[in-house]
Amino acid sequence: MRGLVKYDKGVGFVGVRDVDMPSIHHPDEVLIKIKACGLCATDVHVWKDEFRSFPPVVLGHEFSGEIVDIGGNVKEFKIGDRVVAEPKTGSCGSCSVCREGKIQLCKHRKAPGWGINGGMTDYIVMPFNMLHIIPDKVDYDVAALCEPLSIVVHEVTERAGVQCSDVVLVIGSGSIGILSAFVAKSCGASKVIITGLNASESVRFPVAQSLGADEVINVEKDDVVKRVMEITNGKGADLIIESSGSTQGIINMPAMARIGGRITCIGLCKTDNASLLWNTAMYKALNLYFNFSSSYSAWDKALKLMETTEKNLRYMITNYESIDNWEKIFSSHYDENAVKVMFIPEDEICAYH
């Protein structure tokens, strides 16, 4: 079979390669036929050598598929089950972080797509305890959004505690930002504001509005702090969700928050240095949450939300592609003409065209 592989360390060294068909080597494992795999910024960062990887490794961690074989110890799942999988493989299970149930933060973790072979291919082997059943009403392409959606569910609802009366400001209109607007509105937020760049206007802003954003702000055309304060009648946002990793967006967060408000941070910065209006945050007694990855419980909540929402999450998927077109897609990642690109195996892609 073929896969999109990071085949050596350094900038670049990504291409479509023949890879071995995986097989079950442990009784707790299952073999999954990939049905869809989303492109994440992490995949692009691996290509650019801006995120750690252990080549040769197949890229992709946002995938859905069908179980086609199971190990002898697997009782909870069966052949034919439709599943998604948490990318938390390699967690040691014995360190204090793992024993607290936070396996996503284990320093030993080697996840699909950079630590072990991922989903941009035809088949993958995963331990059964990473799996979740896809509801019958949810198609494979939408189910492959579960990984980023579970991150948002964890960090917006479980960590920051979005409330039904909140005015929510989302900084950044990438896929995480748009899903944040969707989750906030689904939880009853009274108003959702999302920001973005000029490039967001043609594709990303309309998708954001279709999934829950009430107001959009182009930060290259408008004074974002002034606009937020106008929209909130001078009060500021109850909850700010930072999904961009933008230096300027991070600096301005305290100025746009209400007194006693909350800020939850999801976006990673290009470097490990970011400024913040520190005294403003102190005087307002803001609550600040830093986040990484997702919880086990957030996956089931994300799948339930997919099953019950009246919104069409397929609006998130702006491109269906073969891995043969990976370079064009990766190179155009920064032009913001897409929201989520879904790579589909060759024997499945005709169903999407």
Query: Looking at the structure, do residues 328 and 282 belong to the same domain, yes or no?
Result: no
Q: Which of the residues are catalytic?
A: 42, 45
Query: Looking at the structure, do residues 246 and 187 belong to the same domain, yes or no?
Result: yes
Residue 77 CA to residue 58 CA, distance in Å, equals 25
For the record, the structure tokens of 104 come out as 């996503």
Return the pLDDT at 13: 97
For the record, the structure tokens of 4 come out as 């999109």
Query: Looking at the structure, do residues 17 and 69 belong to the same domain, yes or no?
Result: yes
Return the pLDDT at 274: 86
Return the pLDDT at 349: 86
Looking at 241, 257, 290, the residue that finishes a domain is 290
The range of the structural domain enclosing residue 35 comes to 2-133+312-352
For 253-300, the DSSP string reads HHHHEEEEEEEEE-PPPSSS-----HHHHHHTT-EEEE--S--HHHHH
Return the pLDDT at 269: 83
CATH at 188: 3.40.50.720
User: Are the C-beta atoms of residues 305 and 149 closer than 8 Å to each other?
Assistant: yes
**One digit per residue, pLDDT tens: the chain, 353 residues?**
999 999 999 999 999 999 999 999 999 999 999 999 999 999 999 999 999 999 999 999 999 999 999 999 999 999 999 999 999 999 999 999 999 989 999 999 999 999 999 999 999 999 999 999 999 999 999 999 999 999 999 999 999 999 999 999 999 999 999 999 999 999 999 999 999 999 899 999 999 999 999 999 999 999 999 999 999 999 999 999 999 998 889 999 999 999 999 999 999 887 788 889 999 999 999 999 999 999 999 999 999 999 999 999 999 999 999 999 999 999 877 677 789 999 999 888 888 87
CB proximity list for 207: less than 8 A, separation 6 or greater: 178, 315, 316, 318, 339
Query: Looking at the structure, do residues 239 and 326 belong to the same domain, yes or no?
Result: no
Alpha-carbon distances, residue 270 vs 50, 187, 249 (angstroms)? 8, 31, 13
Residue 193 CA to residue 166 CA, distance in Å, equals 11
Query: Looking at the structure, do residues 155 and 261 belong to the same domain, yes or no?
Result: yes
Domain count, the chain: 2
Alpha helices in 124-273 (DSSP H): 140-143, 146-152, 175-186, 204-210, 224-231, 247-256
Looking at 255, 290, 325, the residue that finishes a domain is 290
The answer to whether residue 305 is domain-embedded is no
The answer to whether residue 105 is domain-embedded is yes
Adjacent-strand bridge partners of 38:
62, 342
Return the pLDDT at 352: 82
CATH at 332: 3.90.180.10
Per-residue burial over 94-127, b if 16 or more Cβ lie within 10 Å, else e, is eeebbeeebbbebeebbbbbbbbbbbbbbbbbbb
Return the pLDDT at 338: 86
User: Are the C-beta atoms of residues 74 and 27 closer than 8 Å to each other?
Assistant: yes
Closest residue by Cα to residue 194 from 217, 175, 212 = 217
